[in-house]
Structure 1
């Protein structure tokens, strides 16, 4: 993946999240995805989410709790098969989403918060 592809991916990722359409968001993710987030502990009781079905459960509840969720991409970096999307959320907090892709789908990722 090059920087132009990563920027296109990040713009699409942002639009999908801001639509709050979880089916659209999840199209980016592989069935066997592993995702880690410190916020998952509060929402589903674990910091590691395994599989698209579990990710759907986590994010369904997350969107229910954060109905004003909104992301604004600030910058994008790329390294081989990994994209780092630096964005601000609805509270203005700076977050980095680190996503590793295989065959065009996210297979692993995590959020890093300031």
Structure 2
């Protein structure tokens, strides 16, 4: 799970949406307050909808950089919490993503964002 968190950060820093999506099931649920600004809903359901959201969001930003602060995993619960610093278009804040897995595939995620740094 620690290696997964490092790879997840690296994939986002390359803006490799397909690599990020590669770990998801076909019917995941992703919750983010930022999704509402692009899709009109804070909940995104399904891999294709998630792909469309992330590609659209990525196209709207000029720069994106994540730095891993901590990854905390609960292996029996198949849950990973990634705490990171997110810098988008020159504005930085901390963020947390709670990722849930089943049989090694991500089934859900929720993004939570802190105040601007």
TM-score by length of 1: 0.91
Tell me what 1:81 maps to.
78
The one of 18, 28, 31 aligned to 2:23: 28
Tell me what 1:38 maps to.
33
Which runs of 4 or more aligned residues in structure 1 lie more than 3 Å from their structure 2 counterparts after TM superposition?
A: none
> What number of residue pairs does the alignment pair up?
109
TM-score by length of 2: 0.89
The one of 32, 49, 73 aligned to 2:44: 49
Tell me what 1:111 maps to.
111
Per the alignment, in what secondary structure is the counterpart of residue 92 of structure 1?
A: strand
Per the alignment, in what secondary structure is the counterpart of residue 41 of structure 1?
A: helix
Per the alignment, in what secondary structure is the counterpart of residue 67 of structure 1?
A: coil
Unaligned runs of 5+ in 1: 1-5
Alignment RMSD: 0.9
- Counterparts of 1:59 and 1:65, CA distance in 2: 10
Unaligned runs of 5+ in 2: none
Pair 1:72 & 2:67 matched: yes
Structure with the higher fraction of residues in strand conformation: 2
Structure with the higher fraction of residues in helix conformation: 1
Tell me what 1:9 maps to.
4
